Structure 1
Amino acid sequence: MTDTTEKVARPKQAAPPAPKSAAPRKVRLWRGLTPWLFLAAPLVLLITFTYAPVANMVAYSFTDWDGVSPELSYTGADNYVELFTRPELFEVFFVSGYYLAASVVQIAAALYFATILSFNVRFRNFFKGVLFFPYLINGVAIGFVFLYFFQDGGTLDSVLRLFGVESDKAWLGTSTSANVSLAGVSVWRYMGLNFVLFLGAIQSIPGELYEAAELDGANRWQQFRHIIAPGIRPILSLSVILSISGSLSVFEIPYIMTGGATGTETFVIQTVKLAFQFNKTGLASAAAVVLLLIILAVTWVQRRLVPDEKVDLV
């Protein structure tokens, strides 16, 4: 008889915990660094070509630099004192009123065409291209084209003559007619940008809302008033901000077409002349800083009066 020994089952010992791998930590690190790697190049370009020049401009505004000499001396706030004690330097802001009025027409026309072309209209893609095309043209080319358009006996006079209107008026010869003409050119050029912004905002509104409105018997005006207008409010606010800042800093079209003559000089043209014609780069830098502060202040006031609100049409 063989003695059998009963094997007593011993509890298994738990395996020692594996050492924590450093891989998850590296993954988290790379995930945190990846956005900055993509942003590195744009940030370098932004700092190099935007913030660094602005910082230099602010520094030059406290000097008497003429823009040519390697030597400059610190003058404190003398440039700002001279700027604010010469009211004629700010009289050119009255010219911006023409462009501000033109921007109202521009926004209204762009909103009208964007609303019309957001519905099913024949040849709407063709009209979209026609409206946006002027914004793609170089500003210098536009200036020269309309310079011949408004000259005596030019395109405008020829078109008016076809309708039996004899005009011997110098469109760029007087202050009022020149500023109205230049403001009209700015409407023609920049309306395409606002048109595209409005059209994109309108097309982002869910189509079910239009279908529900049509079932309820709403006409186009009611759809615009209760669906489109509230839905594009943020884009409309952005367009107003861009229009006001653009009206205060007009430069390209009047500089090319008139050079600031016949009462068409804007604040930016005046600043450029101070820097490159009269060699007062320090004073011009101070004027540029003041213009920047005015635009920022106007934008801040507008954002306070019309804050961004989350649009919920559903």
Structure 2
Amino acid sequence: MSAFRVAGPGVPHQEPQVAPPRHRRGPSARRPRPAGSRRWYTPWPYLLAPLALLVLFTYVPVVDMFVYSLTDWDGLGPVRNFVGADNYVDLFTRPRFFQVLTVSLFYLAGSAVQMVVALYFATILSFDIRLRNLFKGILFFPYLVNGVAIGFVFLYFFQPGGTLDTVLGAFGVEPRLWLGDPDLVNTSLAGVSVWRFMGLNLVLFIGAIQSIPPQLYEAASLDGASRWQQFRFVIAPSIKPIISLSAILAISGALSVFEIPFIMTGGSNNSETFVIQTIKLAFNFNKVGLASAAAVVLLAIVLLVTWLQRLLVPDERVEQS
């Protein structure tokens, strides 16, 4: 602005010049610290609470479990005799303890089907279609239901003469013992697992797909790319880290399946998993030391499989532009 103001006809008026205030030295006049000189311990007060909870409820129980695995504790008495590696020797010298891991192959196959189906629906529902929010809610709803309730619902669903037999009977299919036949029970239980956990993968995939810049779709459309080509060359490479994460969750979940087979069959008819076997060792046979050793071995297997997967399929930074 001009420093002059017209006060009258032809009489310029000059605003009085005010000297800028001198900066007084004091705490308020200190220069701001450069970004690189921040104290290194600044974030730690904010991390103390979550770190304390993590250590208390995760790492301390793991250490206790490892200590129990070196004893012959029965879970009831105060006496805990140190036996060293005897529990681990007992585990690895009895092949039947690890034969139940073959049951996990059914759930691993179910997890692969679950990821494919979830990725298919996530891709479709990421585009602008009618009632997509309704379908998202319908597909995600099973994951919100308690696992015990799901087990009892499908227990009646698979019973002889139940819902499944009634529906299949309309197409001329004879009733079968879905949970009583050792050749069908694991396939049936894996199908329940697919139905329940598909919603989790669906949400992960939808979130990853919606984070892709829309300019990539526009460029692909201008180049004449079809929906399949957009998925192959735009969507799949962009959400590769989320697919890798889902694969890790699927493998660890297949190795540690518990609630669905435990509620629906109790581990009978060749449906016993490694976790169910460990629970029976601890609470049915009062061998907490041996069960703790089995839990430590399962944890080591999950960590080893995760490390191998990370080694074979490393995470790559995806540049979206």
TM norm structure 1 = 0.89
Residue of structure 2 aligned with 1:132, choices 137, 140, 148: 140
Kindly indicate whether the alpha-carbon contact (under 8 Å) linking 1:202 and 1:228 is maintained by their aligned counterparts in 2: yes
Shift of 1:304: 0.4
Report the equivalent of 2:316: 309
Q: Could you give the per-residue CA deviations for residues 106-146 of structure 1, whole angstroms, max 9, x where no partner exists?
A: 00000000001111111110110011000000000000000
Q: Could you give the per-residue CA deviations for residues 2-35 of structure 1, whole angstroms, max 9, x where no partner exists?
A: xxxxxxxxxxxxxxx97989x9999x99976553
Report the equivalent of 2:201: 194
Kindly indicate whether the alpha-carbon contact (under 8 Å) linking 1:227 and 1:313 is maintained by their aligned counterparts in 2: no
Report the equivalent of 2:153: 145
Q: Could you give the per-residue CA deviations for residues 35-93 of structure 1, whole angstroms, max 9, x where no partner exists?
A: 33332222222111111111100000000000111111100100000000000000000
Kindly indicate whether the alpha-carbon contact (under 8 Å) linking 1:92 and 1:265 is maintained by their aligned counterparts in 2: yes
What is the identity, as a one-letter code, of the residue corresponding to 1:168? P
Shift of 1:174: 1.4
Q: Could you give the per-residue CA deviations for residues 125-182 of structure 1, whole angstroms, max 9, x where no partner exists?
A: 0110011000000000000000010001111112223x33242211101122110000
Report the equivalent of 1:102: 110
Q: Could you give the per-residue CA deviations for residues 213-239 of structure 1, whole angstroms, max 9, x where no partner exists?
A: 111111001100100000000000000
Kindly indicate whether the alpha-carbon contact (under 8 Å) linking 1:197 and 1:235 is maintained by their aligned counterparts in 2: yes
Kindly indicate whether the alpha-carbon contact (under 8 Å) linking 1:151 and 1:170 is maintained by their aligned counterparts in 2: yes
What is the identity, as a one-letter code, of the residue corresponding to 1:267? F
Report the equivalent of 1:10: none
Kindly indicate whether the alpha-carbon contact (under 8 Å) linking 1:102 and 1:184 is maintained by their aligned counterparts in 2: yes
Following TM superposition, the consecutive aligned residue runs of length 4 or more in structure 1 with deviations greater than 6 angstroms are 17-21, 23-26, 28-31
Is 1:249 the counterpart of 2:256? The answer is yes
Q: How many residues align?
A: 296
Is 1:203 the counterpart of 2:210? The answer is yes
Kindly indicate whether the alpha-carbon contact (under 8 Å) linking 2:213 and 2:320 is maintained by their aligned counterparts in 1: no
3-state DSSP of counterpart to 1:72: coil
Report the equivalent of 1:263: 270
Cα distance in 2 for partners of 1:224, 1:147 equals: 38
Report the equivalent of 2:10: none
Q: Measured at CA, do residues 18 and 217 of structure 1 come closer, stay the same or move farther in structure 2, by a change above 3 Å?
A: closer
Report the equivalent of 1:298: 305
Range 249-258 or range 166-175, more displaced: 166-175
TM norm structure 2 = 0.87
Q: Measured at CA, do residues 55 and 18 of structure 1 come closer, stay the same or move farther in structure 2, by a change above 3 Å?
A: same
Aligned CA-pair RMSD = 2.3
Unpaired segments of 5 or more residues in structure 1? 1-16
Residue of structure 1 aligned with 2:191, choices 159, 178, 184: 184
Shift of 1:271: 0.3
Kindly indicate whether the alpha-carbon contact (under 8 Å) linking 1:117 and 1:124 is maintained by their aligned counterparts in 2: yes
* Identical counterparts, % of pairs: 66
3-state DSSP of counterpart to 1:176: coil
What is the identity, as a one-letter code, of the residue corresponding to 1:198? F
Is 1:276 the counterpart of 2:287? The answer is no
Cα distance in 2 for partners of 1:115, 1:168 equals: 36
Is 1:92 the counterpart of 2:104? The answer is no
3-state DSSP of counterpart to 2:114: helix
Is 1:56 the counterpart of 2:64? The answer is yes
Cα distance in 2 for partners of 1:102, 1:169 equals: 21
Report the equivalent of 1:160: 168
Q: Measured at CA, do residues 73 and 20 of structure 1 come closer, stay the same or move farther in structure 2, by a change above 3 Å?
A: same
Cα distance in 2 for partners of 1:102, 1:143 equals: 17
3-state DSSP of counterpart to 1:96: helix
3-state DSSP of counterpart to 1:175: coil
Residue of structure 2 aligned with 1:217, choices 224, 228, 234: 224
Report the equivalent of 2:21: none
Is 1:226 the counterpart of 2:243? The answer is no
Cα distance in 2 for partners of 1:70, 1:25 equals: 61
3-state DSSP of counterpart to 2:151: helix
- The structure whose residues are more often helix, as a share, is 1
Cα distance in 2 for partners of 1:282, 1:246 equals: 24
Q: Measured at CA, do residues 18 and 216 of structure 1 come closer, stay the same or move farther in structure 2, by a change above 3 Å?
A: closer
1:9-20 matched pairs, under 5 angstroms: none
